[in-house]
Amino acid sequence: MSCPCFHLAASTMLLLIATQPALAWQWADSGEYDMALAVRQQPDAKARIELIGQWKQKYPASKFAVERAELELAAALSAADPAAQHQAAAGLLAVAPESFNGLYWTTLLAPAAPVQSPTALSRYESAAKRLLPATEEYFTRNATAAPEGEKQRVLAAAHRTLGWVAWKRANLGDARASLLASLELDPARADVPAWLGAMLAPDAAAERQIEAVWWLARASFLDGPGALVSTQRREVRSLLDAVYTAYHGSADGLDAIGAQTRDSLHPPANFRIESAAEAAERVWEEQMLQANPSLRPYLDLRKMLLGAVEADLPNLINTTPLPRLRGTVLGCNEAVKATEIQLGITGPSTQEVLVKLDGPLPKCPDLGASIEFDGSLFAFTREPFLISVTAARKSLSAAQAAPPPTPQPPVP
pLDDT in tens, 110-139: 999 999 999 999 999 999 999 999 999 999
Q: What is the pLDDT of residue 213?
A: 97
Residue 70 near residue 7 (C-beta atoms within 8 A): yes
Looking at the chain, the whole-number percentage of residues with pLDDT higher than 90 is: 77
289 has pLDDT over 60: yes
| 134, burial (CB in 10 Å: exposed 0-12, middle 13-18, buried 19+) | buried
Q: At a CB cut-off of 8 Å and minimum separation 6, what does 69 contact?
A: 88, 91, 92, 94, 95, 96, 99, 102
- Asked if CATH classification 2.40.50 holds for the domain at 307-398, the reply, yes or no, is yes
Q: Quickly state the pLDDT bin for 308 (edges 50, 70, 90).
A: confident
Q: Given this model, what pLDDT does residue 10 score?
A: 56
Q: Is the pLDDT of residue 8 over 50?
A: no
The whole model's pTM is what? 0.75
- Distance between CA 158 and CA 136 in Å, rounded? 12
Say yes or no to pLDDT of 401 above 90: no
pLDDT, tens digit, for every residue of 338-389? 999 999 999 888 999 999 999 999 999 999 999 999 999 999 999 899 999 9
- Which amino acid is located at 82 in the chain? P
Q: Exposure of 43 by Cβ count < 10 A (0-12 exposed, 13-18 middle, 19+ buried)?
A: exposed
3-state secondary structure at position 37: helix
pLDDT of residue 143: 74
DSSP string computed for 342-373: EEESSSSSS--EEEEEEEEEEEPPPTT-EEEE
What span, in angstroms and rounded, lies between the C-alpha atoms of 410 and 308? 18
- What's the whole-number mean pLDDT along residues 16-31? 66
Higher-pLDDT residue of 145, 251: 251
Cβ atoms 158, 132 nearer than 8 A: yes
With beta carbons less than 8 A apart as the criterion, state whether 128 and 109 touch.
no
pLDDT band at 6 (very low <50, low <70, confident <90, very high): very low
Are the C-beta atoms of residues 325 and 300 closer than 8 Å to each other?
A: no
Q: What is the pLDDT of residue 281?
A: 84
Q: How many whole angstroms separate alpha carbon 373 and alpha carbon 345?
A: 12
Name which of 164, 158, 155, 152 is nearest 191 in CA terms.
Answer: 164
Q: What residues form DSSP beta bridges with 294?
A: none
Residue 349, pLDDT score: 87
Sheet holding 375-381, edge to edge: 375-381, 386-391, 353-363, 336-344, 325-332, 370-373, 397-398
Spell out the domain ranges in the chain: 307-398
